[in-house]
Amino acid sequence: MNEFERQETLRKLFANAVNSPIETSDPDSKHIIDDDDLLLDWSTGDLAKEQHEAILDHLAACPSCRQEIAKMVQAGALVLPETDDSPETDDSPFVETTIPPGAPSPDRQRTPARNDRGPVVALLVVAAALLVAFIWSNSGGGGSETGRTLAMVQKELDAGRSVEAFNTLDELLNADTSLSGEEKARAIRLLEESGYRTARDRLANEDFSGVSRIEGTVAERSEPSARLLNLRIQAERGETKEHSLSGRTSLTRDYGYERDGQRVIKDFTFPQITPTIKRITKELREAVAQHPDSLDLRLNLGQFLLEQSDFARAAEQFAEAVRIDPSSALAETGLGLALFRQDKPETIEKALPHFRRAVELEPDNRETNENLAVCLMRLGRTEGASAYFKKGER
């Protein structure tokens, strides 16, 4: 039985347990689910630690509240605060009572009566889980099972279920110390891939702390991943795109140039070097030094410098990006922008071939066509420009 079959078996058992309610809760006790204000305090993070503990105590003892809370969380009706603290290793004991080896027959040794159903459901759940685990370990499962698990993870990944794949791999690597070198290497490769895809989705959904967590989890186990590091820095910047430059490539709409290539200065402000900017710059530079051939990091460092009006250094980064991937229209556009924005005749002339190359790479892109047209206009080549303006408008 592989990990997926094991999980599926557990799921069925739990579903059965849930669908067979045993109403033994005290009907007079106050249910937290009925207390809107308490739930709202929980949601906004305004609960005292003792209150939170009291809620957990209640949930452990009241399956109806627990199930309703779980449904609310899943439905997005109850948005609970994330815990950003660094993960702690919880080495506290598992058991409240110890079971002596020579204890009487367990069917006669019963813990004190409980007036709730929570442990009952958990009992079903965990008993099933453990029995399945027991079968697994008694049936000679091991290396080959791990291989099947990894194959299933690959299928999950291929089917676009990267979160599930990531969680399974995380658990597998946490748990199984008997992985062979090859299996471990494969698991780590898949962890990086699923982590990257999950983190990219989280970034798009503004779950920035989620991105950091994933990057941290992968970094614990594998060689540093440039693309995950890039996503983590993007999350720190509060960016939702993998490449900040994408969506900010238009000379006219994003950088305040008229169609004739003249700059319209409306809201000019001096670039401010705040501690955050310094920190991000430092992080990006260190990341690039660590991964000099990462297109993602070069593009984002270039864009970050462009944002700070440090055009010459931005051009250096984009030139490296072009070297790394000559087929990247974004890199060519970035280089064109960094040169054009230096606002000198010679640099604008140098920007032209890069804007032209970007059009060759992405001929149907509105921004690449318009940028080339604007650059041509600025250089006084108005006849050539109109065709690209038209193409951009199409």
Site residues (CB under 8 A) for other proteins, limited to 61-90:
61, 63, 66-90
Q: Which stretch binds other proteins (CB under 8 A): 38-46, 240-248, 258-266, 296-304?
A: 38-46
Q: Length of the chain in residues, anyone?
A: 394
Q: Which of 11, 279, 381, 390 binds other proteins (CB under 8 A)?
A: 11
Nearer to other proteins, 170 or 367 (CB): 170
Q: Give the burial class of 364: count Cβ atoms within 10 A of its Cβ; 0-12 exposed, 13-18 middle, 19 or more buried.
A: exposed
**How many residues in the shown chain lie near other proteins by CB under 8 A?**
106
**CB of 203 closer than 8 Å to CB of 240:** yes
Closest CA to 358 of 251, 254, 255: 251
**Residue 127 interacts with other proteins (CB under 8 A): yes or no:** yes
Q: Which residue has the tokens 């430092």?
A: 282
**Residue 107 interacts with other proteins (CB under 8 A): yes or no:** yes
Both tokens assigned to 250 = 């238009």
C-alpha pair distances (Å), 5 with each of 1, 149, 171: 6, 9, 15
**Residue 206 interacts with other proteins (CB under 8 A): yes or no:** yes
Nearer to other proteins, 132 or 358 (CB): 132
**Smallest distance, other proteins to C-beta of residue 117, A:** 9
Q: Which of 2, 3, 32, 59 binds other proteins (CB under 8 A)?
A: 59
Contacts to other proteins from residues 355-374, by CB under 8 A: none
Nearer to other proteins, 12 or 323 (CB): 12
Q: Which stretch binds other proteins (CB under 8 A): 105-113, 282-290, 313-321, 342-350?
A: 105-113
Contacts to other proteins from residues 250-279, by CB under 8 A: none
Task: State which H helix or E strand residue 50 sits in.
Answer: helix 49-61
Q: What are phi and psi of 7, to 5 degrees?
A: -65, -40
**Smallest distance, other proteins to C-beta of residue 148, A:** 16
Q: What is residue 7's three-state secondary structure?
A: helix
What x-and-dash track marks residues 139-168 binding other proteins by CB under 8 A?
A: ------------------------x---x-
CA 338 vs. chain centroid, Å, equals 30
**CB of 124 closer than 8 Å to CB of 14:** yes
Going by C-beta distance under 8 Å and a sequence separation of 6 or more, which residues neighbour residue 71?
Answer: 77
**CB of 304 closer than 8 Å to CB of 339:** no
**Residue 4 interacts with other proteins (CB under 8 A): yes or no:** no
**Smallest distance, other proteins to C-beta of residue 261, A:** 33
**Smallest distance, other proteins to C-beta of residue 285, A:** 23
